[in-house]
């Protein structure tokens, strides 16, 4: 999950130069590649817009005191644009400093908890992966009338946040009680689970069963083949982190989810459409790159006081009540490839 904020000072798009500070975990063994991918996305987006700019990098630490010193240092230099920090803990730790800043701030995050921390602040704008809302919106795309609805999860923090809103929505939408399964409790008995599922399907050829999966890529690969071809399988882009493993995609046949255009589109088309030259190789880093790239477009939108949708490499971005929501392209895995579905 990604959380980072953009702070806008007295800058307009007509200015001669845009001075940017990147406050990201560049020296972290866990986050450094993500930070550099964001950096690459920002650079390519600035080049695409032909903006004259300078970029200075600052390291985001695990220490609150270090981050506070760095944040104050950045503010004292009065950059036109500050991008960072990246991590949830850093943002919450610097909440007081963020709230009290007089300039406009855009927090990039995928966590509704963070959004609640900065509500009703006219200078704070919010944007991020938006995974929770994207998952909720996939329900609205389903035209089936299921007889059974299963939800399988791995009890991760991400899945728990999603489930708290997702379960009530699907049960209300389908007027059915869902069956919630924790993967750790069934993974040792998948063959038995498959037999029970086949019995349910065998009782009536017209039985419609929907699975919503909140598993990671490897768990989904192990689980999906046991469900057979008659199951309708919906998930998140977290199952599509490996870009080049065709066998994995065959294991995930017919899985439906929202994916970012930067993952769906080929490299040549991305370069032609968006002037992307430093595109990362794997899907995880591509998504961080996309957030960096589109953060510049959001900055442009804020400066122009535009409320129009932004269509770019992270998806379609809409503005509502200081929140920039993002939704990707609805895709289906078919014979090892991603196929775009009617939107």
Tell me if the pTM is above 0.75.
Answer: yes
Compute the C-alpha angle 69/73/75, nearest 5°. Answer: 120
Q: How far is CA 37 from CA 116, 260, 283, 291, in A?
A: 27, 15, 11, 9
Average pLDDT, the chain: 86
Is 194 exposed, middle or buried, given 0-12, 13-18 or 19+ CB atoms closer than 10 A? Answer: middle
pLDDT one-digit tens code per residue, 37-51:
999 999 999 988 888
234 CB neighbour count, 10 Å cutoff: 22
pLDDT one-digit tens code per residue, 199-254:
887 777 788 999 999 999 889 988 999 898 889 999 999 999 887 777 788 889 99
Higher pLDDT, 107 or 256: 256
Q: Considering Cα of 264, then 146, then 179, then 326, what sign does the dihedral take?
A: positive
Write the DSSP assignment of 138-161 as a string of letters. Answer: HHTT-----SEEEEEE---HHHHH
pLDDT one-digit tens code per residue, 159-208:
888 898 999 999 999 999 999 999 999 988 888 888 888 888 777 778 89
Q: Which residues contact 46 (CB under 8 A, 6 or more apart)?
A: 18, 53, 296
pLDDT value for 35: 94
Closest CA to 33 of 313, 284, 240: 284
Confidence of residue 11 (pLDDT cuts 50, 70, 90): very low
pLDDT value for 8: 46
In the chain, what percentage of residues exceed pLDDT 90? Answer: 45
Q: Which of 117-121, 134-138, 148-152 has the lowest mean pLDDT?
A: 117-121
For helices 283-303 and 32-48, what crossing angle results, to 10°?
50
The mean pLDDT of 129-148, rounded to a whole number, is: 90
Confidence of residue 142 (pLDDT cuts 50, 70, 90): very high
Confidence of residue 16 (pLDDT cuts 50, 70, 90): low
The mean pLDDT of 297-325, rounded to a whole number, is: 88
Asked if 229 contacts 201 with a C-beta cutoff of 8 angstroms, the reply is no
pLDDT value for 273: 83
Map tokens 């919630």 to a residue: 180
Asked if the model's pLDDT at residue 131 lies above 90, the reply is no
The mean pLDDT of 270-289, rounded to a whole number, is: 85
Q: Which of 1-10, 134-143, 238-247, 320-329 has the lowest mean pLDDT?
A: 1-10
pLDDT one-digit tens code per residue, 48-97:
888 888 899 999 999 999 999 998 998 888 788 888 788 889 989 999 98
The mean pLDDT of 5-34, rounded to a whole number, is: 73
179 CB neighbour count, 10 Å cutoff: 12
Binning the chain into helix, strand and coil, the percentages to the nearest 5 are: 45, 25, 35
Q: Which of 110-114, 268-272, 311-315 has the lowest mean pLDDT?
A: 110-114
pLDDT value for 88: 86
Confidence of residue 342 (pLDDT cuts 50, 70, 90): confident
Alpha helices per DSSP H over 106-245: 112-117, 131-139, 157-174, 183-186, 190-202, 217-223
């Amino acid at each position: 999950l990604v959380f980072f904020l953009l702070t806008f000072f007295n800058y307009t798009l007509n200015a001669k130069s845009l001075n940017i500070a990147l406050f990201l975990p560049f020296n972290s063994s866990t986050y450094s590649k993500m930070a550099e991918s964001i950096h690459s996305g920002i650079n390519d987006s600035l080049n695409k817009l032909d903006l004259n700019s300078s970029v200075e990098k600052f390291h985001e630490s695990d220490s609150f005191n270090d981050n506070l010193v760095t944040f104050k240092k950045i503010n004292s230099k009065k950059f036109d644009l500050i991008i960072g920090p990246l991590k949830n803990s850093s943002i919450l730790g610097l909440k007081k400093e963020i709230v009290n800043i007089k300039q406009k701030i855009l927090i990039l995050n995928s966590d509704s908890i963070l959004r609640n921390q900065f509500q009703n602040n006219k200078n704070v704008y919010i944007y991020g992966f938006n995974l929770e809302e994207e998952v909720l919106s996939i329900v609205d795309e389903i035209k089936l009338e299921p007889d059974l609805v299963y939800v399988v999860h791995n009890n991760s923090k991400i899945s728990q946040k999603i489930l708290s809103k997702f379960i009530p929505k699907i049960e209300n939408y389908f007027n059915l009680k869902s069956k919630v399964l924790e993967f750790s409790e069934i993974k040792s008995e998948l063959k038995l689970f498959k037999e029970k599922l086949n019995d349910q399907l065998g009782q009536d050829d017209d039985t419609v069963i929907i699975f919503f999966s909140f598993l990671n890529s490897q768990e989904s690969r192990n689980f999906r083949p046991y469900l057979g071809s008659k199951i309708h399988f919906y998930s998140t882009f977290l199952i599509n982190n490996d870009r080049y493993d065709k066998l994995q995609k065959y294991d995930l046949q017919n899985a439906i989810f929202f994916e970012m255009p930067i993952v769906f589109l080929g490299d040549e088309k991305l370069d032609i459409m968006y002037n992307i030259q430093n595109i990362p190789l794997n899907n995880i880093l591509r998504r961080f790159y996309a957030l960096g790239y589109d953060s510049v477009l959001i900055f442009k939108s804020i400066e122009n006081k535009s409320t129009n949708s932004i269509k770019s490499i992270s998806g379609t971005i809409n503005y509502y009540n200081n929140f920039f929501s993002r939704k990707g392209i609805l895709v289906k895995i078919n014979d090892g490839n991603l196929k775009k579905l009617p939107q």
